[in-house]
Amino acid sequence: MSYAPKVERPVDLYGTTYKVPVNINGAPQTLYVTVNGAEGRPLEVFAVTGKAGSSIRVMTDCISRLISCQLQDGVDPERLAEKHLVNMKGGDPVLWPAEQTFVLSIPDALGKALRRWMRQNPPIGGYKKDEPHEDEDVGEEVAGSDILPQK
């Protein structure tokens, strides 16, 4: 299996911060999601919610760092958002009026913010789609292999 080359981070990125409503332990909260990129490709995701030092804040930061690592490692951002973040359920849904959609969890909010950024900043020629994986040909599924890009 081969990996796509790591995306070099340009000196200057442009980004957008989204204010996304979420439901945490039955209480409405605000999740601030910043997506930064270059040439229409997202490269960083930062997210903050909850009180400093709280478990929910630490987990949210961890998820956003993992998303950033994946984006910088060349993973297809559309596939990452649609297949692994959007529609993850975890509590009562909250309406996000800006998107006219319900937010189902923090991962769902991150995926929808990433998707919105990609819609607002399309690259010329679109995003590179992953090639079929070797293990898909033989019918085996390897955990996590569905997001690793192929050369």
Task: Identify each DSSP E strand in the chain by its residue range.
Answer: 14-24, 27-38, 41-48, 94-96, 101-103
Query: What is the reported pLDDT for 4?
Result: 67
Does a structural domain hold residue 139? no
Query: What is the reported pLDDT for 3?
Result: 61
Query: What is the reported pLDDT for 128?
Result: 57
Query: What is the reported pLDDT for 127?
Result: 57
- What's the structural domain count of the chain? 1
* pTM to 2 decimal places: 0.80
Nearest-angstrom CA–CA distance, 34 and 50: 16
Q: CA 37, 42, 46 angle in degrees (round to 5)?
A: 85
Does a structural domain hold residue 86? yes
Domain containing 26 equals 14-124
Q: CA 49, 61, 81 angle in degrees (round to 5)?
A: 95
Mean pLDDT per block of 10 residues along the chain (151 residues) reads 73 96 92 96 95 93 97 95 95 93 97 97 68 43 48 46
Q: Look at the alpha carbons of 90, 92, 98, 100 in this order and tell me if their dihedral is positive or negative.
A: positive
Does a structural domain hold residue 6? no
Query: What is the reported pLDDT for 6?
Result: 83
Does a structural domain hold residue 48? yes
Nearest-angstrom CA–CA distance, 41 and 124: 10
